Structure 1
Amino acid sequence: MTTVDSLPDSSLPGPGDLIDFDGLLTAEEITLRDTVRAFVAAEIKPNIARWYEDAEFPLEIVPQLAKLGLLGMHLEGYGCAGRSAVEYGLAAAELEAGDSGIRTFVSVQGSLAMSAIHKHGSEEQKQRWLPAMAAGEAIGCFGLTEPTAGSDPAGMSTFARRDGGDWVLSGTKRWIGLASVAQVAVIWAQTDGGIRGFVVPTDTPGFTATPIEPKLSMRASIQCDVTLDDVRVPADAVLPGVVGLKGPFSCLNEARYGIIWGAMGAARDAFEDALAYSRTRMQFDKPLAGYQLTQQKLVDMALEINKGFLLALHIGRKKDAGTLGLHQISLGKLNNCREAIAVCREARTLLGGNGITLDYSPLRHANNLESVRTYEGTDEVHTLILGQHLTGIPAFR
């Protein structure tokens, strides 16, 4: 009879590492990755089931994320860590191995709100907000999506009009992460001169954020409806560095890049939960891991996780080298989200009925990934981006 003790050791780094993935990383990258992994193991994993069940985002971890240098970590100056794209990706994978909601906080804060100010803001805007956001003393949100303008942000109806020396913003936004706990919002709006971004303190009269409840996904995270009821801001609230959709898209691509890594972190965690369970769950006098069908599932999952991490690393190296094509971000986001969901669902099958409880991570990850594959561009949008790249013909309309 096969026993658990006689099974091969699986305590390898990463996703049941079949390729010596760590051999592709620098010592500094491994140190950063291991630091974030240890934080997740100590602070996130013991608590995530409760946070998810209670639909609670743990604001108490924000100072810890800041202390680790994870807020705006890929940005230079203003108190930001100035880490590489690969280091940011490795951190994103570890955070999402804890939960998508935790990685999403770092993404909304750093890749969206902070990136918008860093890329397109005035020096005064940068000095006012970025150091506080990097330190976790101010939380930001990013208001682009609307109830009727998701995949087609050009169809937004939120409008900013000039009134003397001020701007007055009116409209609604939906699925805006962190809006109810944020101190500052980057709001994108139509103007007579094109789409512009505005830095709006959330205590400005007329700004209202209402959490969206109940949710079946991303429960340990905050997404809101935002109402802008004649929100008046001064002339210097506008982001001076950009006009048009290239402004928000430049930030979305930063967030999409993090998802390429994050989705694989969730898949790896689901796989490792299923692997550990299959080695200890005894059925018909031997562990589930000793059956051929189980091993096929485990191998198929591990293959996709290893390939997904290789793809993420390749894209990260290109991003650091300045040679990354925008279509390659779509390639990574489309592939890794799709494969990660499949891995998490398959991992759940190895857990049987126990897999629908919060004692195990696969179904929680799968539910979260349904949101991750939808935001920052749906599968369909990224398919059409790649289709246009292949054929030269846009097919969005």
Structure 2
Amino acid sequence: MTLLFLLAIAVIVIFAVKDIRRQVIAKPAYDFMKRVLPPLSQTEREAMEAGNVWWDGELFRGAPDWNQLHSFPANSLTADEQAFLDNQVKTLLTMIDDYEIVNQKDMPKAVWDYLRKEKFFALIIPKSYGGLEFSAYANSTIVSRIAARSMSVAVSVMVPNSLGPGELLAHYGTEAQKDRWLPALANGDEIPCFALTGPTAGSDAGGIPDVGIVCRGEFEGEEVLGVRVTWDKRYITLAPVATVLGLAFKLKDPDALLGNQKEIGITCALIPTDHPGVENGNRHDPLSQAFMNGTTRGKDVFIPMEWLIGGAEYAGKGWRMLVECLSAGRGISLPALATATGHLSTRSTSAYCGVRSQFGVNIGEFEGVQEALARIAGNTYILESARKLTLTAIDTHQKPSVVTAIAKYHMTELGRRVINDAMDVQAGKGIQLGPNNYLGNVYTIMPVAITVEGANILTRNLMIFGQGATRCHPYVLAEMEAVADPDTDKGLARFDGLLMSHIVFSIRNALTSLWHGLTGARFADKPVAGPTAHYYQQLSRLSANLAIVSDLAMLTLGGDLKRREMISARLGDVLSQLYLGSAVLRNYEMDGRQQADLPFVEYAMAQCLHEAAKALSQALRNFPNRFVSVLCRLLVQPLGNHFHGPSDEQAKAVARAVQQPGSARDRLTHLCQILDEDEGGVALVEKAFLAQYGVAGIAKRLKKAQRAGQLPRGPMGEETLDLAVEQALVTEQEKAQWLEAQALSRKAIDVDEFTKL
């Protein structure tokens, strides 16, 4: 007892007396961090500092404030935005023949003209310059509605409204540049593209080799200060039809014409494509889709200094400009495509299950099909929930770079899984291309979303946890800045205070993790009562798990953690699943806690919790320091991993729910709009589905009569139906209704055939 008392006194003295603490604890830790942390490059620093921390910060700190999640405003459309959806978007959908567009490798002139005239390329341009200035939610909803009809048209619309000249000019352009270009972009006189990636710089956009040299040259008959640029870009959407080229390149000033800095850095410029030396027009063939995508090149092309976006003042600030715009844009466009894929797949596959029969029963009654259908609908609920939460951040003027990276990676991956399952269920209907095939072109375009705006492998392995561990953690970034302070005494003093707070933070999370693990998080806070309350508790538990494991990983691996991509990616997966689960719970609350939606919520939450716990287990199992691995496992999973994913009963409940016409199914598929004048494709299979649902009672009676021997067994042909009428089992009207439903079903399951291809 005496020894323990003396030990306790020693610990108190060490931590309480500043000078002793600083020499015994803070100084060794400071020296350790200075030794193991690699210096941040300028590119890394700008990427790290771009954007801000939002709900991801709450999830990373180990004790999320769920009331904050519920306080975020609900997504809504203004009257102008709703009118645009009801009129311009609806009209556009009637003009789209995706089969013809893909076959012709271009949109018809009438569609191009309509997109220009109705300002589809100006959704984000301010009203003061003639644009629509719509919210991110409206932008996403418009793109999603179009994508459910034609991905090629959706991509053509989304690109000018994502990272590109319009957004860059609105944020960083000079007044003269805004006055010159924004009205022309808004009314469709100019079509923009933005050239960032090239043969040797795809996902590593910061490593672009394209170079501009500050020099003097001739422009419009006068000698002016400008830049001589050489570039070679590929994968540039709209490049073949663009009239104005946004261009990113590395700016150098060897003669110090702008100042003393010779290596200025990445810079963005705006160049008319008819400017001498600009080579535009060669097309790529992105998986046989019809959207314009191609190359642009130029060699020693002289441009005046005022063509730099933002002017000479923004020379060298291009990377930060791009990263800040990407941090928002990444959360809108590609997630919109993925969510549209979910809505289309859910509506069409659930309908197909109701009209396609095998072995005398609808395929939707087979458990194997129900399992796939549950994944489709459950993942679509996650997609829609994440879309709304991410757009809330953007519309409240946040720029959450980690959140949008999560949205880009996980939503496009979920979109890929959804379309794969839809193709499996619909089988031949999905693979035989033709005017009535609504899945084939979506299936082929999904890898495009996977690879652009940073390939998904890079996004998962380098960005989510790489940025999250420093940006979202309450102390790490500040500690890194303290260690990097050239004034050692000042840096150490700051580091000392941060370290003490960090130690308390880590101890709290360690104890919280252990307590939640031993009690199943039954005593964790929950902001609601009812069937979803325990999900908040489990997310809180996993949040504390992530916080302590991240601290121990950074402590033991230091700067080497960013090279341990498999481990950091799995920790990023934990953060991502916490985000997706949060989005699901918020969506349920925002929709008014609809009882009919509960099967989707329970399935989605079981999946998110399972994926988070699995990623955590895999990270710990592969942790290089075995002592830390065992310690972490004791703290986070003392009784083992009991998150097993959706049960069979939950899957069946989702499959049953999505095969019932009604408000729940409509909410889950509202982006896949069916117009009154639609006849083929999704509209046909939906019409057949509703017809079959309408005769379900008749079918039940007829099958019962067959089992009782009143009617012959086998297919229910017209002769059998006549016999049923004679026996008063059905009326003539019911017979006609039955035959019409069967005819519609046959038409819906048929595939297109051609005399010649």
Verify same fold: TM over 0.5. yes
Matched with 1:167 is 227
1:268 Cα deviation from its structure 2 partner = 1.5
Matched with 2:161 is 110
- Runs of 4+ in structure 1 over 6 Å off: none
Paired residues for 1:1-397 under 5 Å: 25=76, 28=79, 32-35=84-87, 38-39=90-91, 41-44=93-96, 47-76=97-126, 77-111=128-162, 112-164=164-216, 165=224, 166-192=226-252, 193-217=264-288, 219-240=289-310, 242=314, 243-258=317-332, 259-358=334-433, 359-383=436-460, 384-392=462-470, 395=562
Contact 1:188 1:196 in 2 (8 A): yes
1:142 Cα deviation from its structure 2 partner = 0.1
**Mean alpha-carbon deviation: is it higher for 308-317 or for 163-172?**
163-172
1: distance between equivalents of 2:335 and 2:76?
17
1: distance between equivalents of 2:381 and 2:428?
27
1:58 Cα deviation from its structure 2 partner = 4.0
Amino acid at match of 1:149: A
**Mean alpha-carbon deviation: is it higher for 30-39 or for 234-243?**
30-39
**What SS class does the counterpart of residue 416 from structure 2 fall into?**
helix
Go from structure 1 to structure 2 and tell me whether the alpha carbon gap of 1:267 and 1:58 turns closer, same or farther (over 3 Å shift).
farther
- Post-superposition Cα deviations, 1:194-250, rounded to whole Å, max 9, x if no partner, equal 111111000012111243344425x11111111112222222111126313112223
**What SS class does the counterpart of residue 240 from structure 2 fall into?**
coil
Amino acid at match of 1:226: T
- Post-superposition Cα deviations, 1:149-207, rounded to whole Å, max 9, x if no partner, equal 01111211111112312322112001011111111001111111211111100001211
5+ residue gaps, structure 1, are: 1-22
Matched with 2:514 is none
Hey, which of these two has a bigger chunk of helix by percent? 2
1:297 Cα deviation from its structure 2 partner = 1.9
Structure number with greater Rg is 2
Go from structure 1 to structure 2 and tell me whether the alpha carbon gap of 1:334 and 1:33 turns closer, same or farther (over 3 Å shift).
farther
Contact 1:345 1:362 in 2 (8 A): no
- Which structure exhibits the higher relative contact order, with contacts defined as CA atoms closer than 8 Å and separated by 6 or more residues? 1
Contact 1:40 1:94 in 2 (8 A): no
1:56 Cα deviation from its structure 2 partner = 2.0
**What SS class does the counterpart of residue 98 from structure 1 fall into?**
coil
1:33 Cα deviation from its structure 2 partner = 4.4
Go from structure 1 to structure 2 and tell me whether the alpha carbon gap of 1:41 and 1:105 turns closer, same or farther (over 3 Å shift).
closer
1:340 Cα deviation from its structure 2 partner = 0.4
Contact 1:344 1:362 in 2 (8 A): yes
Amino acid at match of 1:121: G
- Post-superposition Cα deviations, 1:51-84, rounded to whole Å, max 9, x if no partner, equal 1133224453234234444323133231111111
Amino acid at match of 1:64: Y
Instruction: Give the superposed CA RMSD.
Output: 2.3
Go from structure 1 to structure 2 and tell me whether the alpha carbon gap of 1:135 and 1:48 turns closer, same or farther (over 3 Å shift).
same
**Mean alpha-carbon deviation: is it higher for 27-36 or for 141-150?**
27-36
**What SS class does the counterpart of residue 186 from structure 1 fall into?**
strand
2: distance between equivalents of 1:113 and 1:101?
21
**What SS class does the counterpart of residue 187 from structure 1 fall into?**
strand
2: distance between equivalents of 1:129 and 1:59?
23
Amino acid at match of 2:439: P
Amino acid at match of 1:266: T
* TM-score between both structures, scaled by the size of structure 2: 0.47
State the aligned residue count. Answer: 372
* TM-score between both structures, scaled by the size of structure 1: 0.86
**Mean alpha-carbon deviation: is it higher for 371-380 or for 47-56?**
47-56
Go from structure 1 to structure 2 and tell me whether the alpha carbon gap of 1:56 and 1:290 turns closer, same or farther (over 3 Å shift).
same
1:395 Cα deviation from its structure 2 partner = 2.4
Amino acid at match of 1:249: V
1:127 Cα deviation from its structure 2 partner = 1.4
Matched with 1:4 is none
1:390 Cα deviation from its structure 2 partner = 4.2
**Mean alpha-carbon deviation: is it higher for 221-230 or for 138-147?**
221-230
Amino acid at match of 2:268: G
Go from structure 1 to structure 2 and tell me whether the alpha carbon gap of 1:226 and 1:214 turns closer, same or farther (over 3 Å shift).
same
2: distance between equivalents of 1:90 and 1:160?
39
**What SS class does the counterpart of residue 129 from structure 2 fall into?**
coil
Amino acid at match of 2:422: A
Contact 1:160 1:168 in 2 (8 A): yes
